[in-house]
Structure 1
């Protein structure tokens, strides 16, 4: 069974990139959303991305971003993947993928069964899916809220594209989440922080170790 691939999202400091790389993460995520405590400017993200060693994929998380913002980000930051974490339509996902020539991962919030058909819809236009806990209606942030959903909803399910599990994951529960869902990729942000937006290198190391030692359910 291949190692579970881990994305550490919301990196803001050089030490964060170093910790993610040292721990063996597969993806480093940079957030471009002013309301987030993890928000970075393209200039800061560029400096951080240039520190990432080969093998650590650089991801830009945006929320209903305009072409102008995406132009600015992609012009300045060497990226491997765009993560769309807003209410982008399938048409907008396809448009962004075509315009920027980068793989696109679409986040889809899940709270119950009625949310699952969206995953099949976005799998037709995105390169990857990120299955996240649907934020409360009053939430300021579309993700990074430290909330999980009922993992049984996606247990054993497969889509046409690779998918990543997110939402409320921590070093303590990621092994259970992987075992229950069969996820081969997981995403964490607030679960490896000592305070909002402040990454903890020890928690990053513990999270990656727990994810890689988990035993996913074998594919049917």
Structure 2
């Protein structure tokens, strides 16, 4: 089965079209206001209309309350909710029940203990995304930092899972071969500056992932 590909933090029609043309399977709409990749509800609605059913739309939230979720969920016509903060298993369960959409939980990884936390979400989340633990005070993702992929050998694959953190057109094929992940997720790896996606890098990333 081909590896799924998520291009996260898209904010323009041009880069959205590039992701679709390159055969990415998912886009991430960043709904975390401190991020340079944040898109407003109005921008999300515009992008969602362009995307249609051609690609799955994932809304990326960080410790969002319900009012914020409702506003952005409807605007983005989302297919999936991604929780990228410190959401507890109870909060993930609540979000899934309340909004009737698949929920992905991001786990920030630095040590084997971080991977072991996946078991707490086994009967709750629909999908896990292992990402790099960023330094205190930094954004929770999109920093271009990777982690030791061998730590994932400790994960017993109770849930389907994907890999994020420092993935680029140059290393994504190796990441797929070494981890056998079902999905690869990139944001800064296809940018020329924070929040500025590059259509050629998107194409190269997807090509490398599909050929791995």
TM range (shorter): over 0.9
CA RMSD in angstroms, aligned pairs only: 1.1
Q: Which residue of 1 aligns with 2:48?
A: 49
Instruction: State TM-score, norm by structure 2.
Output: 0.97
- The secondary structure found in structure 2 opposite 1:154 is helix
- 2:167 is matched with 169
Structure 1 length-normalised TM? 0.93
Q: 1:93 deviation in Å?
A: 0.3
CA 159–82 in structure 1, closer or farther in 2 if over 3 Å, else same: same
- Counterpart-to-counterpart distance in 1, 2:18 and 2:122: 31
**Partners of 1:69 and 1:27 in 2: CA distance:** 22
**Higher share of residues assigned helix:** 2
1:204 to 202, 205, 210: 202
Q: Secondary structure at the match of 1:120?
A: helix
Counting matched residue pairs gives 212
Gaps of 5+ in 2: none
Contact 1:166 1:187 in 2 (8 A): yes
Q: Deviations over 1:107-165 (max 9, x none)?
A: 000101111121121222100001001111231x1011100000011148442221110
Moved over 6 A (4+): none
Other structure's SS at 1:51 match:
helix
Q: Partner of 1:84 in structure 2?
A: 83
Matched residue, 1:134: 133
Give 5+ residue unaligned stretches, structure 1. 215-220
Query: SS state of the match for residue 129, structure 1?
Result: strand
2-structure distance, mates of 1:45, 1:90: 27
**Alpha-carbon distance in structure 1 between the residues aligned to 2:187 and 2:51:** 18
1:178 aligns with 2:176: yes
Kept after mapping to 1: 8 A contact 2:6/2:28: yes
Residue in structure 2 matched with residue 27 of structure 1 by the alignment: 26
